[in-house]
Structure 1
Amino acid sequence: MPDYSEDWHPGSFTKNFGWGKDGRGLAELHHAIRVGFGDERGDVRRSVFRKRLDEKGINFYIPANFFLFNYVNETGDWIAFDELVFQAVSFDHTVHFDRLALFTFNLSLVGSWQGARHFQRRPALWSNRYIVERLAQSHGWDVTKVTADDIQVFLDGDERYKAQTSRKLSTNLNFLYQIGGLSAVVADTIERWWMNASFLAADRLCRLRYARRLTISSIGEALDEFDFGPLAGGQNVEKSYALIRLLEMYVSVGGPDRFERSVDAINSGKTNDPRPYGLVDKKLPRAPKSLPAGVVNTMDWLDASYELLDHDELREFDVDMYVREASVRALSKIRERGIKPTMSSADLMTLMRG
């Protein structure tokens, strides 16, 4: 269970990352991830990631300590190739990346590295609790109430916040909320970033073993414990249904191992197209879920309720157009089978009126 009574420390978040002008979103973070991972499609050494960023004059601490996932093994410190990295290196910068990145920041599960202090494994717990305890509970999701002043009042009034000043953090955090699209992140709609956020959260919880098994029930319980719902805009019927379907997909493609499976599929020639592809749920086609090349070969559960999109179709996917075309196809099949109504509109109205 997460401990929300632990102290909050601002750490290096008060440093200037150089986010850029409002309007570019989190393009600088997107660029930093691409620079740090280079052409690699797997985990990279933390020292290599830092060296690559230093050579480009990019602040290392914000991406590595607040957004990416770190771990230590017998060979040293590593930064994981997970859903956030996959989206950054596989697709151009869009608002969907910004929203996913902001969710990742608020989730605040970044692992650990040699020399890291205990609180650094959840470095933005102050933002996490602001979303859940202030925005959701006190403000009822009214994003217009989110300001630097309101954030500062929240921090200053909470004994968990351990720092001499809160102003710099408050202004930086408010700016991050603005350029990251907080109003969209806490909306009750299902968009691409939300689909990706479910995989991102599952990646982090599985790697940290908060989800003890690669099963829908185990991951679902961990998501609940770590407030996935509130951090991703709250729960509703559509989101609950979509999340179950996404977890089925996540488990079937191997969870965090899907990226290794993809590399193996590409290197062995099992897939002809190394580019990511997509799956759209015909039962709830709000947005497609992008996946690394080749992992569809492992998905025994894939059935007629999903439609596979190649890379070009994924890039050009428009949900309204998809629904219209699907409706036309369904009506065509009905006509081809000679199915016709057995009652007139007058008969139907009489039946409806009782």
Structure 2
Amino acid sequence: MVKHAPGSFSKNFAWHGTGLRKLHIVIRAGFQDTLATVPRDRFREDSGLDASLSLIPVNFFLHNKAGRMSVDELVFQAIERPHSIRFDRLALFALHLNRVGTGQRVVSRPAMWANEFVRERLWQSGVWRSSALSDASLDPFITDRMDAQLDVRVKCRNNYRHLYELCEFWPTSLPVINAQAEQWIASALFLAWDRHILDGGPSDRASLVDLIDSDELYKLLGVTRGFALAQAGDLADLYGSVGGIERFREAKTALTPTTPPPPKPAPEIPEEEGLEWLEQEESDEVVERRTVERQEQKRNRKKAAALKQHYDNTCQFCGTKLQISEDRYYSEAAHIKGLGEPHSGPDKASNMLVLCPNHHLQFDRGILRIKKVGGDYVIRSKAMGDPLNGQKITLTHSLDDVCVNYHYRWFGSKR
């Protein structure tokens, strides 16, 4: 088993309480708010970090080639977007990607132990497992993979886990971690492809899509292989249409956003022939609302159809009954606990709600949740000023409280 050097990973990643927001600030300062390569030494001078910390962003998060700091999707996001939790998650992905350039004084894979940890321990059966981040799991793995004294290994462990805390992935009371990759997979794949090409890799579409498997990018994203592959084709086409890595050279004179739109999950295929399911008539906008757990499931649509008929296609949150023709109405059956991996929720009416398309999307993304208060189920909304927040829902079928509690905790993050 190969043991890796810790480098400067043992230094304090808290950055005086600013966390990865400091990295965002450092990138903007080091690149002088421009999408142009900059000499490594000048970047360090302009970054605003003191000498003891200056190597951390250069060595572990950013890409440099031939003595110059490269412009890629991570740099773009820092310069063109305000700091956000999505930037932090993209930065963690950059660390795990472990492609930081080539040349003198450059260690091309400086945190390979972290990359191996995600691929071998954290990711299991299509999702990140929270138990892998415990001391009992992290310590023996780092001991096995890192050539360092005990005190250095402990510092590295604490710094590494702190990154998950900054990204609001940990701690969690659930056995699995909600990576929320649908919100940042496009930027992550753009970043992976940028660095692949910067390191001399081919830029054709097939080679880019192949990285999903060859570099096991799906594991670094915390999703199933099928979900990553379902997005990769369209995103590779989009990547090519905006110029690939060349998009930043064109942006020097006229900056244009390159962040791709949200990924579009594959439509579901009805399992039973001869039934006129409304889902067959869904537009692209409705298909986009489907989340990964319902892409890979096999469900009995008769149960969903029966529940929608029971509620007369009326949204249980807002009371909307969406008419789509003279005599047809449309609603959607939302599973509370997802059926596919990693949730493995039950396919039964007590794990379903009947919702309008808008509130189905918000429920699937965790903007809307329900909580049992006494004998009632109350809507909790993260949307500012949402009139649904605190509203009781009227039920004429029973709900599985285990599923309700699971959904509420799964989307427990504040952001």
Q: TM-score, normalised by structure 2?
A: 0.58
What SS does the aligned partner of 1:9 have? Answer: coil
* Partner in structure 1 of residue 229 of structure 2: 240
**One-letter code aligned to 1:78:** R
> Which residue does the alignment assign to 1:102?
92
Distance 1:280 1:305, change over 3 A: farther
Any conservation in 2 of the 1:98–1:181 contact (CA below 8 Å)? Answer: no
Map Cα deviations across residues 290-318 of structure 1 (whole Å, 9 max, x no partner). xxxxxxxxxxxxxx979xxxxxxxxxxxx
Task: Report the aligned-residue RMSD.
Answer: 3.5
Among residues 5, 23, 33, which one is paired with 1:29 in the alignment? 23
Q: Structure 1 residues 227 and 284, CA, compared in 2 at 3 Å: closer, same or farther?
A: closer
Q: Is residue 51 from structure 1 mapped to residue 41 from structure 2 by the alignment?
A: no
Equivalent residue number for residue 301 of structure 1 = none
Q: CA deviation at 1:250?
A: 0.6
Partner residue in 2 for 1:127: 114
Kept in 2: contact 1:148–1:173 (CA 8 A): no
2:280 aligned with 1:280:
no
Q: Hey, what does 2:341 align to over in structure 1?
A: none
2:130 corresponds to which of 140, 143, 158: 143
Task: Give the alignment of 1:327-338 within 5 angstroms.
Answer: none
Q: For residues 259 and 10 of structure 1, what CA distance do their matches in structure 2 show?
A: 32
Match of 1:181 among 143, 162, 168: 168
Cα 1:186–1:81 shift into 2, 3 Å = farther
Task: Give the partner amino acid of 2:96.
Answer: N
Residues 161 and 188 from structure 1, CA distance in 2 versus in 1: closer, same or farther, beyond 3 angstroms?
closer
Equivalent position SS for 1:16 = coil
1:204 lines up with 2:195 in the alignment = yes
Query: 1 CA distance for matches of 2:59 and 2:101?
Result: 9
Whether the aligned pair in 2 keeps the contact of 1:101 and 1:180 (CA below 8 Å) is: no
CA distance in 1, matches of 2:192, 2:329: 52
Q: Report if aligned partners of 2:127, 2:222 keep a CA contact under 8 Å in 1.
A: no
Whichever residue aligns with residue 121 of structure 1, its letter is S
Q: CA deviation at 1:123?
A: 0.7
| Equivalence for 1:312 | none
8 Å contact from structure 1 (residues 149, 170) kept in 2: no
Q: Deviations over 1:109-168 (max 9, x none)?
A: 10134233xxx2101111111111111249973214413443111122x2x422223211
Structure 2 match to 1:351: none
Percent identity reads 34
CA distance in 1, matches of 2:63, 2:263: 33
Q: 1:54: how far off?
A: 4.9
Query: Which of 2, 9, 28 is the matching residue for 1:13?
Result: 9
Residue matched to 1:191: 182
Task: Tell me how far 1:175 sits from its aligned partner.
Answer: 1.2
- Which residue identity does 2:155 align to in structure 1? K
Q: In 2, are the aligned partners of 1:53 and 1:59 still within 8 Å (CA)?
A: no
8 Å contact from structure 1 (residues 35, 53) kept in 2: yes
Counterparts of 2:194 and 2:125 in 1: how far apart (Å)?
30
- Corresponding position of 2:251: 262
Q: Secondary structure at the match of 1:11?
A: coil
Q: Secondary structure at the match of 2:71?
A: coil
| Contact kept? 1:108, 1:125, Cα under 8 Å | yes
Indicate how the Cα distance of structure 1 residues 225 and 238 shifts in structure 2: closer, same or farther if over 3 A, else same. closer
Partner of 2:142: 155
Q: Is 218-227 or 249-258 further displaced after alignment?
A: 218-227
Structure 2 CA distance for aligned equivalents of residues 282 and 109 of structure 1: 24
1:12–1:62 contact (8 Å) kept in structure 2: yes
Structure 2 CA distance for aligned equivalents of residues 84 and 190 of structure 1: 16
Inter-partner Cα distance in structure 1 for 2:329 and 2:35: 60
C-alpha spacing 1:283/1:67, structure 2 compared with 1 (3 Å): closer
User: By how many angstroms is 1:82 displaced?
Assistant: 0.4
TM-score of the pair, normalised by structure 1: 0.68
Report the AA paired with residue 199 of structure 2.
Answer: L
Quote the Cα distance in structure 2 between the aligned partners of 1:139 and 1:177: 18
Match of 1:171 among 153, 158, 174: 158
**1:245-283, CA deviations, whole angstroms, 9 ceiling, x for partnerless residues?**
11111122221111112224x2xxxxxxx4526653695
The 2-side partners of 1:277 and 1:251 are apart by 11
Shift of the 283–105 alpha-carbon distance from structure 1 to 2, 3 Å rule, reads: closer
Distance 2:329 2:25 in 1: 61
Matched residue of 2:82: which SS? coil
Q: CA deviation at 1:19?
A: 2.7
**CA apart distance, 1:44:** 0.8
Q: Which has the higher helix share?
A: 1
Residue-pair matches, total = 275
Question: 2:56 matched to 1:62?
Answer: yes
Distance (Å, rounded) in 1 between the aligned partners of 2:15 and 2:224: 31
The equivalent of 1:311 in structure 2 is none
**More displaced 10-residue stretch of structure 1: 82-91 or 172-181:** 172-181
